[in-house]
Amino acid sequence: MGFWRKYHEMFTKKKRYNVDGRKLIVFDESKADDEIKNIIRESFLEVCKNDKIAKNFRVIKLVMQDKFVGMTTFGPTPVFHRGNDVSPAMLFHEELRQNEKMIHINIPKLEELFRYNYHGSASFMKKKICSIIAHELAHIWNFYVSNILSNGRKISGRLSNRISRLMKSVHISNEQKENLEALRVHIHNFKVAIMDEGLAKYYELASQKELPFEKSKFDELYVKAKNVSGDLKYMWGHYMGGDKWFESKLFSAITGRTGLYHHIGIHVVYTILYADQKISLDEIRKMSYFKFIKKYESCVKKEGQQPVVSLTSGKGILDYKRMLDQLMKLYNSLVRK
Ligand SMILES: [Zn+2]
């Protein structure tokens, strides 16, 4: 754990709990009302008492905080930079790497969510917070069980690295360079994020018993994933064609701010489990993302539908290789100007 975090923890109000020999610690760094903080504490204890994943961890920490300023500078960065300050809960990569299972609750964001959606009903809030915590626990479990998530997130792939090298070597404006480089990183994250968010979202909904295996559920998740992918494809296509108007919308979608990865991910994971009833969630978790997407492609085909995503087959509405090729083309057109 980083020095600042350790220093900080010593002076922060905290409560310790003991559940079946496991330690649960709640840090209170928030100035919010006690009412909401009590609901969060109760939800955390309830989930950790019963949740299957939580039982794997000897110590789980939860921090209630109002600000995240400076947290990126002192080392920890939000896992995959997804959601960032817009999420009601966050994990930090650096902490997970140091074996800290610590869930950060973004209190202002949570209050905002409740202001608009739950009209102050404590039982609804509790249910929502429980599902948020289950979701984060699944992310932690993904991190430790799935290799692709813990491997330091190095960008791999010859084409992707070649594009990066080329981008650095030529004369286009800095802003253009930064945008293209950011997009290259985002398309890489895209593969990992679908898997990570898909597993977490699946776990979250399954733990609330909201995921029956039936055709109507399959259709519902498919349509949603198809729509968000179609939207992204549309914006991506226009931006790659040189239309700057789509820039901010495209960036907000591809960084996951519109829930893109949740919608695609839950559909992908659900489809695999729906089509192949013998496979377990942990078996999926241990797959490489290449195998994961291949498996998905064959499962969705079995259900008679076009894949929403693919890596290199070109069959998906979104195809990783196609997107990289288009990025390369845009880059070349900028260089020639
Ligand atoms: Zn998530």
Q: In angstroms, what is the span from residue 278 Cα to ligand 1's centroid?
A: 25
Per-residue pLDDT, 84: 46
SS (H, E, C) 175-210: HHHHHHHHHHHHHHHHHHHHHHHHHHHHHHHHHCCC
The predicted structure's pLDDT at residue 236: 94
Q: How far is the CA of 136 from the centre of ligand 1 (A)?
A: 6
pLDDT confidence of residue 69: 60
Residue 259 Cα, ligand 1 centroid: separation in angstroms?
Answer: 9
Ligand 1 mean position, distance from CA 85 (Å): 13
Going from the Cα of 38 to the center of ligand 1, the distance in angstroms, rounded, reads: 23
| Distance (Å) from CA 6 to ligand 1 centroid | 26
Amino acid at 38: N
C-alpha span between 254 and 178 (Å, rounded): 15
Q: Would you state the structure tokens that stand for residue 224, as one six-digit string?
A: 């949603």
Distance 206 CA to ligand 1 centre (A): 14
Output the CA 200–ligand 1 centroid distance in Å.
Answer: 6
Tokens representing residue 304 in the block = 């008679």
* 208 CA to centre of ligand 1 in angstroms: 16
- Nearest one of 80, 82, 135, 79 to 258, comparing CA atoms: 82
- How many helices (H) and strands (E) the chain has is answered by 14, 7
Q: Would you call 215 helix, strand, or coil by DSSP? A: helix
- Tell me, in angstroms, the distance from the centre of ligand 1 to residue 33's CA: 26
Sign of torsion over alpha carbons 143, 148, 149, 153: positive
Residues 6+ apart with CB under 8 A from 296: 268, 271, 272, 307, 309
C-alpha 132 – ligand 1 centre gap (Å): 9
> Which of left, alpha, beta for 181 (phi over 0: left; psi -120 to 50: alpha)?
alpha
**pLDDT score at 251:** 87
Distance 228 CA to ligand 1 centre (A): 17
| Alpha carbons 311 and 272: distance in angstroms, whole number | 16
The Cα 242–Cα 311 span in angstroms is 24
Ligand 1 mean position to 91 CA, how many Å?
A: 9
**What is the full per-residue pLDDT of the chain (337 aa) written as tens digits?**
566 666 666 777 899 999 999 999 999 999 999 989 999 999 999 999 999 999 999 999 999 998 876 554 333 344 444 444 567 888 887 788 889 999 999 998 888 888 877 676 888 899 999 999 999 999 999 988 887 666 545 566 676 777 777 777 766 777 777 788 888 888 888 888 899 999 999 999 998 888 999 999 999 999 999 999 999 999 999 999 888 888 889 988 888 777 888 999 999 999 999 999 999 999 999 998 889 999 999 999 999 999 999 999 999 999 999 999 998 888 888 776 6
Burial class of residue 95 in the structure, from the number of CB atoms within 10 Å of its CB (0-12 exposed, 13-18 middle, 19+ buried): buried
Please give the distance, rounded to the nearest whole angstrom, from the Cα atom of residue 168 to the centre of ligand 1.
32
Nearest to 303 by CA among 214, 203, 194, 182: 214
CB 184 within 8 A of CB 164: yes
Q: How many Å apart are CA 241 and CA 101, to the nearest integer?
A: 43
Tokens coding 63: 């921090």
First to last CA, the chain: 49
Residues that place a CB less than 5 A from ion ligand 1 = 197, 200
- Cβ neighbors of 71 (< 8 A, separation 6 or more) are 77, 92
Residue 229's CB is within 10 A of a number of other CB atoms, namely 20
CA distances from 91 to 12, 127, 205 (A): 19, 20, 19
